[in-house]
Structure 1
Amino acid sequence: MNAKISSTFILKSAKTTSKGLIPIYMRVTVDGKRFEISTQKQVEKSKWSTEMRKMKGNSEEARSVNEYLTLLSNKLFEAQKQLLLENEVITFETLRSKLFGKEEKAITIVKVFKDHNDKMDKLIGTEYSYNTWKNFKTTLSHFEKYLVESYNVSDVPVKKIDFAMMTGFDFYLRSTLKCNNNTTIKYVKSVGKIINICLDNGWIEKDPLSNYKAKLKVVEREYLTEHEIESMLNKQFVVPRLELVRDIFVFSCFTGLAYVDVQQLKKENISIGIDGSKWIFKNRQKTDIASKIPLLPVAEMIIDKYSDNPVCLNTGSILPILSNQKMNAYLKEIADVCGINKELTFHIARHTFATTVTLSNGVPIETVSKMLGHTNLKTTQHYAKILDKKISEDMLILKDKLKNLHKQENIVNQSFTL
């Protein structure tokens, strides 16, 4: 909507000098609100035309003053023009700032992004995980490269970010960086969080991602079957580090805890539950949602196995866990030794708990969701979808039970021919 702007020149009689000269001011009105600018010119009251808003006559003084007032009017017009070219909304504040040369320094997306990441860095381990911080850091790196390659700029005012720029970033991730669909959406949504910060602070008025409709594709998550778990459990390892990694991985398979939650697990997280047996009580690092997990026998035996471990005794930890990088490297060795033809990572243990250990054994999905510390049931339902393999296995068992059906049909057919 266009602002209603008007201007005029007035005399400020209250500021008349001792010599009887009255200062001239330019009064600007924007949508009913007005401000005044001193022209730094003075005039005798008798020489001023109230109707024409300028000096009377054609004297050299009158021509000089009137030309100067015209220049000020032109300056007002140029200020309006500049605001329009910059796609700025013309308001009382923006026009006044432009005229007085007191424009606020533009708030830029990269600066806001860096400030967000710096604050997040200081809260790793309390409010955020390292991986969450790393994701935002990577997103910023990709977005900076996009600005340079697509717009030849290192930063851009947040007010300049529009739908075209954000969909352009989506295309850049897919085409130039070869990101898959879900990774692309993850990066765009991360920029979206920074945009929300700008919205909350009133730095922008409209969300440029409000019409962003990209959808995540369902990815089938890997998990271990019951046979593969048994193979891993029954394997005798000569190398102690592989045995340790196997035990911690299996512990996660029977508790559903993510790596960081196993790493943080202390003795005080183990208490007696409502049924009189041992439970794990811990808030998930990722979501801060409470997880309450009854200890299954396998998990309890692993805890007992390492109760006298020096690391556990000194730190109060339940298990002497290695770094996530080392765990995943050793898991690949364990997969080879155990004949498991899957790309094992620690997070597969959590998937295994959700599928093979719980849902496949008839544990209700609501219960599984609660133990996993999910924020909503939809997250857990994803695990239920991948149980089509279990349906197939169950139907094979049913087929075996119905092997004699064909013979029964023959008997029925024979009875009808008699």
Structure 2
Amino acid sequence: MNKYKLNILFVIANNRTRKDGKAPIICRLTYKSKRKEFATGQFTNPDYWKSKDQMASPPNENYVNNQLSLISQKLNQAFLLLQFKEVDFNVDDIYNSFLGKKSNAEKTIKDAFEYHTNRMQKLVGIDVKQVSVQKYFQTLEHVKTFLKFKYNKNDYLLKDLKMNFINDFEYYLKTEKKFKPHSVYKAIQRFRRVIRVSVSADYILKDPFVFHKIKKPKKQIVYLTQTELASLEKHKFSQVRLEQVRDCFIFCCYTGLAFQEMTNLDAKNIIKGFDGKQWISMERQKTGKQFSIPLLLKPKKILENFLRSSNDSNNKLLPIISNQKFNSYLKEIAEIVGIDKNLTHHIARKTFATTVLLYNDVPMEIVSELLGHSKMSITQEHYGKIVQKKVSEQMIFLSKKLNLKNNK
């Protein structure tokens, strides 16, 4: 039990007297020198109000007094309940408990995620993508499985959240879930964001992430080399499904389209550019940024081939297949062609940025624009090493060239 007392005082709001001469009765709570006022929903004539006795005098004010008495009882019950729970609470928590709501001191990790995702959901279509909201739901599922594994609980009080919880969660993702470094980083990053929003909402007093450090892993860029890309283009597959998936993959190697963009591509996305040539114009699903890509000869021929053989009436320019099946077929394709890489659709986009653009001396700022990145720094972060490798190769070539001249 704490030493602080709850003071309940009913006061008349004389400045809000109605035409019938009655004024609202306000309840004023004071706890730890902090006040909270709320309307009781009861009215009385100020002349009938006895401030010292905290009641209205007759005639016909028994109902009002009974209602005020009930409010006092419920407030004291809420106060006692919070005391028995031995949680740190404030006057707002007492009021919330009185209303039947959870006090901030009783808020849990699930409450924190719900608060954050609800706020995000309202921003979908404004400056948030639905896919971003979904990732927070995925992170919550990881937290829930961790709670079952570590504590055999379904939820966890935010007030009990300490550094050791975060460290154990990170360790769990690495050892039990077998997450790769980048996936661990993203899960922790989203969890941190949820907790920081909870701090700003007064769900939790201190941010347990303040001293937690997790190093952002540098992702290894996997892409097809010129030789691998050429081998893939030349290979003749006996199965139509593999031939189609290969062609779609090659199409994306020369356009940089993400999987969903490839699936959504239809006739209206092919426009006549300022140069009189055909361009692909779309909105980047991940960032919402509009981007345009010149339709090179190879992807143009692939579109023409699909157009000739297609019987679909859905206006889509490429065959529609699930991401799971697409990547599954790519595994078969890689094995048949002899490409020793874990081939997925995303590698096509990486190949476009590296083998097709950067290795053909397309400037970084143009690469960033063609990829539809929201910031130039994102492109530099992902592909800076590729540029360094290109510079190194050019310098070796230059060195050999100079040596030949000197030896003459």
Superposition TM-score, scaled by structure 1 size: 0.69
Tell me how many residue pairs correspond in the alignment: 345
Q: Deviations over 1:275-322 (max 9, x none)?
A: 2211111111222121211111111111111123435x4111111132
- For residues 324 and 6 of structure 1, the distance between their equivalents in structure 2, rounded to whole angstroms, comes to 59
Deviation at 1:251, TM superposition (A): 0.6
Partner residue, 2:86: 85
Q: Is the 8 A contact 1:289 1:375 kept in 2?
A: yes
Secondary structure of 1:386's counterpart equals helix
1:325 is the counterpart of 2:324: yes
Deviation at 1:158, TM superposition (A): 3.6
Partner residue, 2:336: 337
Superposition TM-score, scaled by structure 2 size: 0.71
- For residues 385 and 368 of structure 1, the distance between their equivalents in structure 2, rounded to whole angstroms, comes to 14
Partner residue, 2:355: 356
Deviation at 1:201, TM superposition (A): 4.9
Secondary structure of 1:262's counterpart equals helix
Deviation at 1:372, TM superposition (A): 0.8
- For residues 268 and 389 of structure 2, the distance between their equivalents in structure 1, rounded to whole angstroms, comes to 39
The amino acid that maps onto 2:292 is K
Partner residue, 1:283: 283
Secondary structure of 1:221's counterpart equals coil
Q: Is the 8 A contact 1:128 1:285 kept in 2?
A: no
CA-based RMSD of the aligned residues comes to 3.9
Deviation at 1:107, TM superposition (A): 3.7
Q: 1:82 to 1:387 in 2, by over 3 A?
A: same
Question: Whose Rg is larger?
Answer: 1
Q: 1:29 to 1:173 in 2, by over 3 A?
A: closer
Structure 2: give runs of 5+ residues left out of the alignment. 10-28, 38-51, 53-72
Q: Deviations over 1:325-373 (max 9, x none)?
A: 2222222232233332222111111001111111111211111111111
Q: Deviations over 1:131-183 (max 9, x none)?
A: x6764454323211322333342112344434443233223323443434322
- For residues 30 and 351 of structure 2, the distance between their equivalents in structure 1, rounded to whole angstroms, comes to 71
Deviation at 1:259, TM superposition (A): 0.9
The amino acid that maps onto 1:329 is S
Secondary structure of 1:229's counterpart equals helix
Q: Is the 8 A contact 1:282 1:290 kept in 2?
A: yes
Q: Is the 8 A contact 2:112 2:194 kept in 1?
A: yes
Q: 1:303 to 1:6 in 2, by over 3 A?
A: closer
Q: 1:338 to 1:7 in 2, by over 3 A?
A: closer
Q: 1:259 to 1:31 in 2, by over 3 A?
A: same
Give the fraction of aligned pairs with identical amino acids, expressed as a percent: 34
Q: Is the 8 A contact 2:280 2:294 kept in 1?
A: yes
Secondary structure of 1:308's counterpart equals helix
Q: 1:230 to 1:148 in 2, by over 3 A?
A: closer
- For residues 207 and 261 of structure 2, the distance between their equivalents in structure 1, rounded to whole angstroms, comes to 35
Deviation at 1:222, TM superposition (A): 0.9
Q: Is the 8 A contact 1:303 1:319 kept in 2?
A: yes
1:189 is the counterpart of 2:171: no
Q: 1:335 to 1:80 in 2, by over 3 A?
A: closer
